[in-house]
């Protein structure tokens, strides 16, 4: 374990190093191929198991994966440390809105194969699910989230447009076999003038038909689909979506999620691009590495591409059925080295900072807390004195802490904090 002092200056401003936790879900990248594994080793000194998947690196206060304060003799979690003086550490605006509940959870993801088709409940649904099934739904919070690509990052996200849905019905007889000719005709006869509610209801019906089809029918239909696509591949270039369908079926044979993937947008993010998801929006991360930030929750409702617990009925009933390609955030320039990714959620924003050799930048004092992650290089973070930082270091900065970052060799870091829009409203 690394040892570090707590750097505290007048007014309660604080910068502390954290020891963070890892999740070894089976979709993670294996051993040293995983950025998560590399960061976890550098953060904790715990050796990597080269045969084990390393999927997620968690930074925050969630009880399913808490961070610990480095250098404290007792096993002190970040949450316990914040609870000693929450209004000073979190700042008045954050404390008044969320109390001592830390508002966001910060992660790194290393994805080797597709995650489940899933959605995260809104606050009301999360509260009722947690009350009814606390062993499955671990908390009562909603979970809007954002994934910021570190490498090329692929995902399924949100429902395709009406026009694309019509193309799918025209060109994919296996989908028509599941939903029936009458419903397929309804899709083809719809137009944008029919009203959003009518379109939404039909999309919901189509998606529900697919997700609830009998297992034996799914197996039969997917066998036909894969056979047809393999034949087509000999005579024409398959679309990106069709190639994805073949890949998913190899990973999850006879899984209804392979069919459902047709209805979702296939998104490919370049490094430095971000995708955000509100509550009740379907998605599945497919491949690549990303920094992820979300409201402080671990609630997931799954319905496909997974061997885990599925709540198909809840998922089909909760979705917004909003259509169209999602907004891709490219970041707003804050200074020559830093871009800010600001989704429409109060709980969080993320800064991406890439410092070249022999350069310095400042993260100004803000009225809320931040978590910093160094993913590459080394340098110093300065409040009243220098804190040497390097790859794998995670630091918590309390409210009203101005930090100067400097490097001789180059440094790549991320900062997660509460949305700056929230502080603008309280000026």
Pairing of strands 21-23, 359-363: unpaired
With H, G, I as helix, E, B as strand and everything else as coil, classify residue 168.
helix
* Residue 400 backbone phi and psi in degrees, to 5: 65, 40
- Identify the burial level of 333 via C-beta atoms within 10 angstroms of its C-beta, where 0-12 means exposed, 13-18 middle and 19 or more buried: exposed
Report d(CA 62, CA 98) in Å as an integer.
14
Could you tell me which of 293, 301, 421 has the C-alpha nearest to residue 368? 421
With H, G, I as helix, E, B as strand and everything else as coil, classify residue 381.
strand
Angle (CA) 332-277-98 rounded to 5° is 85
Is 290 within 8 Å of 146 (Cβ atoms)?
no
Q: Among all chains, which residue has been given the structure tokens 């509550």?
A: 279
CB atoms within 10 A of CB 132: 9
Q: What share of the chain is helix, strand, coil (3-state, %, to 5)?
A: 35, 30, 35
Q: Among all chains, which residue has been given the structure tokens 């997931």?
A: 300
Dmax over Cα atoms in the chain, in whole Å? 71
User: What one-character-per-residue DSSP string does 256-268 give?
Assistant: HHHHHGGGEEEEE
* Residue 345 backbone phi and psi in degrees, to 5: -130, 145
According to DSSP, residue 32 is labeled G
Active-site annotation holder among 29, 302, 340, 415: 302
How much is the CA Rg of the chain, to the nearest whole Å?
Answer: 23
Could you tell me which of 5, 67, 110 has the C-alpha nearest to residue 394? 67
Residues that constitute the known binding site: 118, 120, 145, 283
Residues that constitute the known binding site for Zn(2+): 118, 120, 145, 283
Is-catalytic flag, 302? yes
Report d(CA 65, CA 297) in Å as an integer.
11
With H, G, I as helix, E, B as strand and everything else as coil, classify residue 404.
strand
Enumerate the active-site residues: 302
């Amino acid at each position: 374990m690394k040892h570090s002092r707590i750097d505290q200056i007048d007014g309660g401003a604080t910068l502390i190093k954290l020891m963070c936790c890892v999740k070894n879900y089976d979709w993670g990248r294996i051993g040293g191929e995983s950025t998560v594994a590399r960061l976890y080793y550098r953060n904790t000194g715990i050796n990597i198991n080269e045969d084990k998947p390393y999927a997620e690196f968690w930074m925050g206060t969630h009880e399913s994966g808490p961070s610990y304060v480095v250098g404290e003799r007792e096993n002190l979690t970040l949450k316990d440390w914040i609870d000693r003086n929450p209004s000073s550490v979190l700042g008045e605006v954050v404390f008044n809105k969320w109390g001592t509940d830390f508002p966001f959870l910060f992660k790194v993801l290393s994805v080797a194969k597709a995650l489940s088709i899933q959605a995260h409940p809104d606050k009301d649904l999360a509260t009722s699910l947690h009350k009814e099934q606390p062993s499955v739904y671990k908390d009562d919070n909603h979970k809007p989230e954002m994934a910021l690509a570190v490498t090329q990052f692929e995902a399924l996200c949100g429902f395709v447009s009406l026009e694309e849905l019509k193309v799918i019905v025209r060109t994919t007889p296996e989908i028509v076999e599941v939903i029936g000719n009458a419903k397929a005709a309804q899709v083809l006869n719809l137009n944008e003038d029919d009203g959003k509610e009518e379109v939404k209801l039909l999309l919901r019906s189509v998606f529900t038909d697919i997700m609830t089809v009998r297992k034996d029918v799914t197996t039969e239909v997917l066998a036909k689909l894969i056979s047809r696509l393999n034949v087509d591949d000999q005579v024409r270039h398959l679309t990106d979506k069709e190639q994805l369908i073949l890949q998913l079926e190899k990973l999850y044979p006879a899984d209804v999620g392979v069919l459902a993937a047709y209805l979702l947008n296939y998104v490919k993010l370049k490094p430095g691009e971000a995708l955000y998801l509100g509550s009740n929006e379907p998605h599945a991360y497919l491949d690549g590495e990303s920094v992820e930030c979300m409201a402080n929750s671990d609630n997931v409702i799954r319905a496909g591409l997974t061997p885990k617990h599925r709540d198909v009925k809840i998922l089909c009933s909760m979705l917004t059925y909003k259509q169209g390609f999602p907004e891709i955030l490219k970041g707003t320039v804050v200074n020559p080295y830093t871009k800010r990714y600001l989704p429409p959620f109060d709980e969080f924003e993320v800064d991406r900072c890439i410092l070249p050799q022999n350069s310095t930048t400042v993260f100004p004092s803000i009225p809320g807390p931040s978590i910093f992650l160094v993913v590459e290089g080394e340098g110093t973070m300065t409040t009243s004195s220098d804190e040497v930082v390097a790859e794998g270091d995670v630091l918590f900065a309390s409210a009203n802490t101005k930090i100067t970052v400097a490097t001789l060799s180059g440094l790549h870091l991320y900062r997660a904090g509460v949305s700056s829009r929230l502080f603008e409203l309280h000026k």
